[in-house]
Structure 1
Amino acid sequence: ITLKLNLEDLIMNRKILIVCMQLLVLIAISLIIIVLVDKNDQVITPDSFKAYKLKKRGNDTSRKPSEWFTLQRAYPYDSVPLKAYRRALERAIAVRNATLNMTELNCTLAGPSNVGGRITAMAVHPDEPYTIYAGAALGGVFKSTNGGENWQPVSDDVPSLSVGDLVIDPINPDCLYLGTGEANSSGDSYAGTGLYRTTNAGDSWEFIGLPESYHIGRIAIDPIDTDRIFVAVMGKLFGTNSQRGVYRSTDGGNSWEQVLFLTDSTGAVDVVINSSDPQIVYAAMWERIRNPQYRRVGGMTSGIWKSTDGGDNWFQLTRGLPAPSPNVGRIGLAVSDTDPDILYASYVDHPGNLMGFWRTTDGGDNWESRLVSPSPSTFSGFGWYFGKIWVHPTDPDIVYFGDVDMWRSTDGGAHWYSIMGSMHVDMHAMYQDPNLPEYMVVGNDGGVFISQNGGSYWTKCYDLPITQFYAITIDNQLPYRLYGGTQDNSTPRTLYGGMDDWDVIFYGDGFYTNIDFNNSNIIYAEAQYGWLGKSTNLGQDWEQILNGIDGNERCNWCTPVVMSPLNSRVLFYGAERLYKTTNGGQYWYPISPDLTGGGGHGNLVYGTITTISQSPLSEDVIWAGTDDSRVWVTTDGGSTWTMVSDSLPNRWCTRVTADVFDVATAYVTFSGYKVDELLPHIFKTTDYGTNWQDISGNLVDIPVNDILPDPQNPQRLFIGTDFGMFYTEDGGSVWQVMGEDHPICPVLDIELHNNSRILVSGTHGRSMYIFDLTQVDIPTTSNKPSSYCLIRNYPNPFNQNTMISYEVSKSAHVTLNVYDVSGRLVTTLVDGNVSPGKHSVSLNATNLASGTYFVSMKAGDFKASKKITCIK
């Protein structure tokens, strides 16, 4: 009986086991199906990207691009203190000029030259239509003499590379006027420094006034008396000021007077002249109020004004036009050259929707609404970003309007159709040849495009390195492969290291890119507000990898996503909390509480992590910085966090970088300007943030966006600033400029590939540049060199002491003298017989004044000299 029961139990247990196994198989299959379906749902498409943007930004379409660029320079104020900005620019230029001749770090353009960037203004030679000048948002003026095949920068000596407008003197085409300060009211529309003129077709420029203009919308020159010039001045973008409206010069720009002013928040965005009677002038006035947390792009004083006496007196045009209201926004104006009584006006409302088009045939006395089709809703919802209209040079019934698309009407503005073709989006400038109207040139967010058949087909112009990078990276295994996220042009990369072989691999505006340092096929790329994708086949296909990240958390416009330097499958993602993945993005989990002071207000995503750095010496040490000035560190992998920023400035933290030599050492940089005091922007800690040392040196009050220590020299640091690249050889006491050919423009990210000794700067307006660090690396030599050599002193520039090294191949009498710039002997460092080998001698600067000196070496027939600089 016992055996029978045991046998029955065994049979029953086996049946139960079989059923359990079947259930487990069914569960496993179900999980696989769920995973596959979920994975399929995460495949990235344009529609999924739009859905993510809508979730993060809501229905506010007016924020294109984001306030991110200006807020960090303004924080904690509502606007950038322009006096402080100018002081910082002057300081940067002074340091550049003082150290330019000593630097041995030259740079070369890395590209891209085929991607492009935002073109804000354009001018074409009236007699040579293939001579084109293009002004970039933050790249300065470029010139082509062969119809856009090749371009050269021609305004790099102008203090501001932000272009508002550019116009050619109609009588003397070698004379051009450049208005600095983009007027499109974009979040990264940098202020200008006034008006400049060239009389030699761009070879050199001179400042001619309007230093308080900040942003210039249009320049108009009297076609008969070219000494009479009108300038539409928008004034401050973030803030109010009285230096706005219409300005006039009657002596070719030598002096200026304000001839039309309405309010301190109403600027002139457009001005046009009647070509038959230049005493008749029209101006479009635009009232708008903006700060990083609030924007209003319309107001009661927006409208069209006219002068019939050359600008002495003005009156508003109203008959048939939209009535004054708080919702009247940007207005574009165009006057027909063949029939100057015909004018067109485009109106955009608050918050940015197209109101319509109006036309007058009697010089503005009466206007009629023209738009029949398509409906206004067909156009973009951020018309304040464009707002320009142009008339065909010979047919007054043909008119063009720049929006996301390029639109044309052939019946005086009633019916419109797109002539976009293959062009990039967002139109800002256009030229049509009056002698050959089929020849058209357009400037947009993607660069310059040319049509030879009236807009039926467009050709992109290459060789324009004006891409605006937010973040860049270098492929560790193949360092000639460069990647970066950009404004308006997504994430371009080069696989072969050329300037013109870049291709775009992702969606939206681009930001952080990470390349698996063990497998170059694995790429992580990001669009605005932290929309993150992963590709495992070199960018051919993408999947969204946000599983585990709370979609309701605040994410920065440029959300930091960084790869661990210790494990390529470990990445960190900064929202309001810091997230970590250990499996290449399959799942994320938070490792911190909210590290910010809370959310912002108004229409801005604020209260976010802006920078992350894990120590390359310990996986447990992680640093983070925020947009509200907080700096945090954990030494236990995220279990506990310590805020270490109490003694640091109340400024937007742009970068925190863990040191490569000491685990307790880190560097932190800040953005921002301050009027009433000189504000340091670079700090160092050697004790996990308990104490901070100011290492801004001679670069006080210049916003710094990134910092990198050199893994081969603990005293050498590299920084990217709002005004170019600088480095120090003495830990931060003295900074000197990097690269004579590097433009004075914002550098938002720098990356170093140590094995190849290549450093790359990512500029916001002039693409990328490469520095070969072997130029400053001291070579390893044997004790018996094969020749005589005077080695570069270190540090240079210097403040207290500098070490001068030299080599001799055989015993010789050596003299080493120091002279000032007048040739006067200052001191003799060596004068005697020296044995073969490398030698060093210290120069004490206690009795030296600031300035340039020369070290001269003589050994037998060998002579050499080096320039050195003392800065106190």
Structure 2
Amino acid sequence: MPFTSVNAIVIDPQTPSTIYAGLRRYTDISGGAGGVYKSTDGGVTWSDFSTGLPRVVHALAINPQNPNTLYAGTADGVYKTTNGGTSWSAVNTGLPFRSIFRSIINAIVVDPQAPDVLYAASEEGKIFKSTNAGNNWTTVYTPSVAGQVNSLYALVLDPENPETIYAGGHPGSILKSTDSGATWNTVNTDSLPNTIVRSLAINPQASTMLYAGTHAGVYRSMDAGANWDVRNEGINTFYVEELAIDPQTPSTLYAAGRKIGVFKSTDGGLNWRPVTAGLNLDFPVEALEVAPSLPTTVYLGNGLGVYKSTDAGTTWSQVNSGFPAGPDVYSLAVHPQNADIVYAGTQVGTTKIGKVFKTTDGGANWVETSTGIFLRSFIPVRALAIDPQAPDTVYAVVGKWVYKSTDAAASWNIMNNGLELPGSSITALVVDPQTSGTLYVATTEAGIQKSTNGGISWSPVNTGFPNDPVFGISVFDLAINPQVPSTLFAATNKGVYRSSNGGASWSELNDGLVLRRNKRHVVRLAINPQSPNIVYAGTLYNGIFVLQDSAAPPELRIYLPLVLRSP
């Protein structure tokens, strides 16, 4: 299931054939599933139980005394269902806002003895507590050092003494509370390396024994977290992201990580062996759960959906019937006068053929509208644009070809006359909002091409761009000033360039755009439509910059490190 990723799995403790999976889209632009899916037959078939939920679910927790009550940690706070997932509602009173959304919740635990008591851990490193089943929350832990990376990924309660709680994340210290969250202390200052703690597990029969899955492998504590020793013999990675313990035989553990599948230990973590038969190892494991009443049954979630083992991990098989097989969506265009009309540029099927889809009811139903487009495998519909003066006119980019429809995508014609792109492909297309028929395309090696007659003919407009002898002129995105459309901005591998004469000439606009690795690699641009002097630039290595105007002093440039991409 490359179109979605399973982040969390919980099993009904009273009816173990009932399973819930928390999903998120595998990539930000995919058209795949999200929310929560439910199976009542041990994972053979699944149904969407996401009504009321956001589409990104990071964590799930179930009330052990009333399993119809579940909680979901999402990218917008906590959601709750009291009817087995049929409907969900937000329970966020007291949770702080993060921008326009609530806190990202990465972990939730329910007190097994007093199930109205909940704890939630956030991406910002805070811990919240509710004593009334999520109706209200209070903050019980805030990181002591503001401004550094503080993220919590794991929460566990001592099953014998639920007043004792452990939390782990980044930085790598493990937090412990022995008074129901009133106070917290770190418990591993000397014996656990300073790394990222992704998961925690407690021996249900001897709760002073804990395991930590970290980016330095598996560690075990025999004394409630006071001391830790490494338990990596046989594991071929340090990046352990998930841990699960057999509740009936707690010396049996499972560990999972990045592109390694699952390892199993039957001696309390002293030795490990791989148990990966049937697994696709190209996707990191995001969830791992042992059925409490039948521990030979283990479930795993990753970027391909849900896998199940009925022989304690010896073999695995996918159990994804009922999950949607959504397309990869690369581009969208919304009708300027009717928000229910949307076009989607996609790549679909096992051969990844680029196609256009259209909805006229706000996404409730989609139909393919690719007639006239030469369908090619592994070449998506990279860009879509609507002529705002004539909204039935739509343009689509497939590889190095531009297609045009004048009947709202019922049919398409190729419009490449004069568009000479040897070895290059088109990355973006924009339409002049005031002059119907004036178009610009950005290319990977041939710079920018312009048409003034609706794509009938094209000519290069590259004066002022540096021409790399190896890579040519690489332009990744274009933005046009909606109020003065003769002003354009181009995102290139050399930074941002601006034209104030409809592309006739370009000048560098990089003052304050920070170099990293000797590059100013800008990949995305956006203009404030009401204040078009404000331009945002998304970079490959340095995050996001905002330009108030070309003469803005350095203090007006804003850098947002949370959007850094790995090289």
Query: Which residue is 1:783 aligned to?
Result: none
Query: Which residue is 2:60 aligned to?
Result: 166
Contact 2:59 2:106 in 1 (8 A): yes
Query: Which residue is 1:249 aligned to?
Result: 130
Relative to structure 2, which stretch is displaced further, 640-649 or 454-463? 640-649
Query: Which residue is 1:363 aligned to?
Result: 224
Which whole-Å CA distance do the structure 2 matches of 1:563 and 1:259 have between them?
Answer: 57
Which whole-Å CA distance do the structure 2 matches of 1:153 and 1:448 have between them?
Answer: 14
Which whole-Å CA distance do the structure 2 matches of 1:634 and 1:680 have between them?
Answer: 26
Query: Which residue is 1:258 aligned to?
Result: 139
Instruction: Name the SS of the counterpart of 1:387 in structure 2.
Output: strand
CA RMSD, Structure 1 to Structure 2 (Å): 4.5
Deviation at 1:266, TM superposition (A): 0.9
Which whole-Å CA distance do the structure 1 matches of 2:481 and 2:273 have between them?
Answer: 58
User: 1:303 aligned to 2:173?
Assistant: yes
Gaps of 5+ in 1: 1-113, 182-191, 236-243, 288-301, 349-354, 474-481, 496-513, 531-558, 573-577, 582-586, 591-607, 655-669, 684-872
Q: Which amino acid aligns with 2:22?
A: G
CA shift in 2, pair 1:469/1:312, >3 Å: same
Query: Which residue is 2:508 aligned to?
Result: none
CA shift in 2, pair 1:267/1:589, >3 Å: closer
Which whole-Å CA distance do the structure 2 matches of 1:651 and 1:412 have between them?
Answer: 63
User: 1:470 aligned to 2:329?
Assistant: yes
CA shift in 2, pair 1:272/1:467, >3 Å: farther
Which whole-Å CA distance do the structure 2 matches of 1:230 and 1:491 have between them?
Answer: 45
Deviation at 1:414, TM superposition (A): 3.5
Which runs of structure 2 are paired with 1:60-459 in the superposition (5 Å)?
117-138=4-25, 139-158=34-53, 160-181=54-75, 192=76, 194-209=77-92, 210=95, 212=97, 213-235=102-124, 244-262=125-143, 263-264=145-146, 265-287=149-171, 302-318=172-188, 321-324=191-194, 328-348=195-215, 355-376=216-237, 383=239, 387-403=241-257, 404=259, 405-424=261-280, 425-459=283-317
Contact 1:246 1:261 in 2 (8 A): yes
Instruction: Name the SS of the counterpart of 1:119 in structure 2.
Output: strand
Instruction: Name the SS of the counterpart of 1:523 in structure 2.
Output: coil
CA shift in 2, pair 1:229/1:450, >3 Å: same
Deviation at 1:226, TM superposition (A): 0.7
CA shift in 2, pair 1:166/1:375, >3 Å: closer
Specify which structure has the bigger relative contact order, considering alpha-carbon pairs within 8 angstroms and separated by 6 or more residues. 1
Q: Which amino acid aligns with 2:324?
A: P
Cα displacement string for residues 753-786 of structure 1 (whole angstroms, at most 9, x for unaligned residues): xxxxxxxxxxxxxxxxxxxxxxxxxxxxxxxxxx
Deviation at 1:563, TM superposition (A): 3.3
Contact 2:9 2:301 in 1 (8 A): yes
Deviation at 1:397, TM superposition (A): 2.2
CA shift in 2, pair 1:392/1:672, >3 Å: farther
CA shift in 2, pair 1:308/1:162, >3 Å: same
Q: Which amino acid aligns with 1:337?
A: P
Which whole-Å CA distance do the structure 2 matches of 1:195 and 1:261 have between them?
Answer: 18
Contact 1:631 1:645 in 2 (8 A): no
Which runs of structure 2 are paired with 1:623-772 in the superposition (5 Å)?
623-624=440-441, 633-635=450-452, 637-641=457-461, 645-647=480-482, 679=529
Which whole-Å CA distance do the structure 1 matches of 2:398 and 2:354 have between them?
Answer: 22
Contact 2:307 2:318 in 1 (8 A): yes
Cα displacement string for residues 94-134 of structure 1 (whole angstroms, at most 9, x for unaligned residues): xxxxxxxxxxxxxxxxxxxx765201111221121221111
Instruction: Name the SS of the counterpart of 1:525 in structure 2.
Output: coil
Which whole-Å CA distance do the structure 2 matches of 1:333 and 1:613 have between them?
Answer: 52
Q: Which amino acid aligns with 1:333?
A: L
Contact 2:120 2:127 in 1 (8 A): yes
Cα displacement string for residues 283-309 of structure 1 (whole angstroms, at most 9, x for unaligned residues): 11314xxxxxxxxxxxxxx31011111
Q: Which amino acid aligns with 2:403?
A: P
Which whole-Å CA distance do the structure 1 matches of 2:414 and 2:354 have between them?
Answer: 25
Instruction: Name the SS of the counterpart of 1:394 in structure 2.
Output: coil
Which whole-Å CA distance do the structure 2 matches of 1:439 and 1:375 have between them?
Answer: 24
Contact 2:201 2:244 in 1 (8 A): yes
Deviation at 1:410, TM superposition (A): 2.4
Query: Which residue is 1:561 aligned to?
Result: 399
Contact 2:329 2:345 in 1 (8 A): no
CA shift in 2, pair 1:308/1:484, >3 Å: same
Which whole-Å CA distance do the structure 2 matches of 1:436 and 1:390 have between them?
Answer: 14
CA shift in 2, pair 1:652/1:426, >3 Å: farther
Cα displacement string for residues 498-529 of structure 1 (whole angstroms, at most 9, x for unaligned residues): xxxxxxxxxxxxxxxx999587xx733159x9
Instruction: Name the SS of the counterpart of 1:167 in structure 2.
Output: strand
Q: TM-score, normalised by structure 1?
A: 0.42
How many aligned positions are there?
A: 411
Deviation at 1:136, TM superposition (A): 0.8
Which whole-Å CA distance do the structure 2 matches of 1:647 and 1:410 have between them?
Answer: 65
Instruction: Name the SS of the counterpart of 1:338 in structure 2.
Output: coil
Deviation at 1:155, TM superposition (A): 2.0
Contact 1:562 1:571 in 2 (8 A): no
Instruction: Name the SS of the counterpart of 2:286 in structure 1.
Output: strand
Which whole-Å CA distance do the structure 2 matches of 1:560 and 1:414 have between them?
Answer: 54
Instruction: Name the SS of the counterpart of 1:345 in structure 2.
Output: strand
Deviation at 1:490, TM superposition (A): 7.5
Relative to structure 2, which stretch is displaced further, 630-639 or 425-434? 630-639
CA shift in 2, pair 1:270/1:434, >3 Å: same
Instruction: Name the SS of the counterpart of 2:36 in structure 1.
Output: strand
Which whole-Å CA distance do the structure 2 matches of 1:651 and 1:164 have between them?
Answer: 40
Which whole-Å CA distance do the structure 1 matches of 2:70 and 2:489 have between them?
Answer: 39
Deviation at 1:174, TM superposition (A): 0.7
Cα displacement string for residues 18-61 of structure 1 (whole angstroms, at most 9, x for unaligned residues): xxxxxxxxxxxxxxxxxxxxxxxxxxxxxxxxxxxxxxxxxxxx
CA shift in 2, pair 1:374/1:652, >3 Å: farther
Q: Which amino acid aligns with 1:233?
A: S
Contact 1:169 1:226 in 2 (8 A): yes
Which whole-Å CA distance do the structure 1 matches of 2:37 and 2:490 have between them?
Answer: 33
Contact 1:611 1:653 in 2 (8 A): no
Cα displacement string for residues 237-256 of structure 1 (whole angstroms, at most 9, x for unaligned residues): xxxxxxx4111112221221
Which whole-Å CA distance do the structure 2 matches of 1:390 and 1:571 have between them?
Answer: 56
Instruction: Name the SS of the counterpart of 1:118 in structure 2.
Output: strand
CA shift in 2, pair 1:218/1:518, >3 Å: closer
Contact 1:117 1:468 in 2 (8 A): no
Which whole-Å CA distance do the structure 2 matches of 1:228 and 1:447 have between them?
Answer: 31
CA shift in 2, pair 1:429/1:374, >3 Å: closer
Which whole-Å CA distance do the structure 2 matches of 1:579 and 1:393 have between them?
Answer: 65
Instruction: Name the SS of the counterpart of 2:403 in structure 1.
Output: coil
Deviation at 1:402, TM superposition (A): 2.2
Which whole-Å CA distance do the structure 1 matches of 2:488 and 2:49 have between them?
Answer: 35
Deviation at 1:150, TM superposition (A): 2.8
Deviation at 1:135, TM superposition (A): 1.1
Deviation at 1:342, TM superposition (A): 1.3
Instruction: Name the SS of the counterpart of 1:202 in structure 2.
Output: coil
Which whole-Å CA distance do the structure 1 matches of 2:78 and 2:49 have between them?
Answer: 15
Cα displacement string for residues 571-609 of structure 1 (whole angstroms, at most 9, x for unaligned residues): 98xxxxx9855xxxxx5368xxxxxxxxxxxxxxxxx94
CA shift in 2, pair 1:641/1:313, >3 Å: same
Q: Which amino acid aligns with 2:221?
A: T
